């Protein structure tokens, strides 16, 4: 049993210092993967990696009745929290009162505008919802890789599967999601 699982068990049994100890162990790991995800975001992104980690931590620890079985369960919950934060942020930015579908454009970019990253995040989110109904484990892998930015090795460890299996699942999931996104209207 690793340190995170041990501390999660202690927290579940009411140990007062367990939450602080858990934060010190997982914060650096969450902080390490958040910039990888944020680097994929569009220029001018208003959400910072640190804010993403803090918001995810608040969502994870805000409900005292929440219980995690082990490290895998905790990081799956963290991946889901980060995914939902990014999706909520994309929806907020697309809302009419926040400029609708308008994009920030520097004067030097007028000749070649980029694609809207919010559209991509929402398209992946919608396709992922359908995919999760078909294959939950592969969908969890996508969340860890795409939304959290974990490597194959990190995601495999978090899900308790081998790296070759994670790579096969990733290849399948990417192909399935690409097909689904291409078939979406709009």
Provide the greatest CA pair distance for the chain. 60
Q: Across residues 147-176, what is the average pLDDT?
A: 90
pLDDT score, position 13: 61
| Mean pLDDT calculated for residue range 140-159 | 87
* Domain regions of the chain by residue span: 3-102+114-183
Q: Report the sign of the C-alpha dihedral through residues 40, 185, 181, 121, in that order.
A: positive
| pLDDT given at position 75 | 78
Tens-digit pLDDT profile for residues 30-64: 777 776 666 665 555 567 777 888 888 788 777 66
Say yes or no to pLDDT of 183 above 90.
no
pTM confidence score: 0.56
From residue 130, alpha-carbon distances to 7, 34, 125, 150, 170 in Å are: 34, 25, 9, 22, 16
Residue-wise pLDDT tens digits, 1-15? 567 667 766 666 656
Q: What is the mean pLDDT of the chain?
A: 74
**CA–CA dist 182, 162 (Å, integer):** 30
Give 109-148 pLDDT, tens digit per residue. Answer: 322 223 336 777 788 888 889 999 999 999 999 888 887 7
Instruction: Provide the pLDDT for residue 9.
Output: 66
């Amino acid at each position: 049993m690793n340190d995170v699982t041990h501390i999660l068990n202690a927290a579940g049994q009411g140990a007062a210092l367990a939450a602080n100890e858990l934060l010190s162990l997982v914060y650096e790991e969450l902080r390490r993967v958040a910039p990888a995800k944020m680097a994929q975001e569009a220029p001018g992104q208003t959400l910072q990696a640190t804010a993403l980690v803090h918001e995810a931590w608040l969502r994870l620890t805000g409900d005292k009745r929440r219980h995690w079985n082990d490290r895998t369960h905790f990081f799956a919950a963290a991946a889901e929290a980060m995914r939902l934060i990014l999706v909520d942020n994309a929806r907020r930015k697309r809302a009419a009162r926040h400029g609708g579908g308008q994009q920030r454009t520097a004067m030097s970019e007028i000749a070649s505008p980029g694609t809207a990253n919010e559209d991509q995040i929402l398209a992946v989110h919608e396709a992922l919802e359908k995919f999760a109904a078909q294959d939950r484990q592969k969908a969890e892998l996508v969340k860890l890789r795409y939304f959290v930015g974990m490597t194959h090795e990190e995601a495999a460890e978090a899900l308790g599967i081998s790296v070759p299996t994670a790579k096969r699942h990733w290849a399948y999931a990417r192909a399935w999601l690409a097909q689904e996104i291409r078939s979406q209207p709009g």
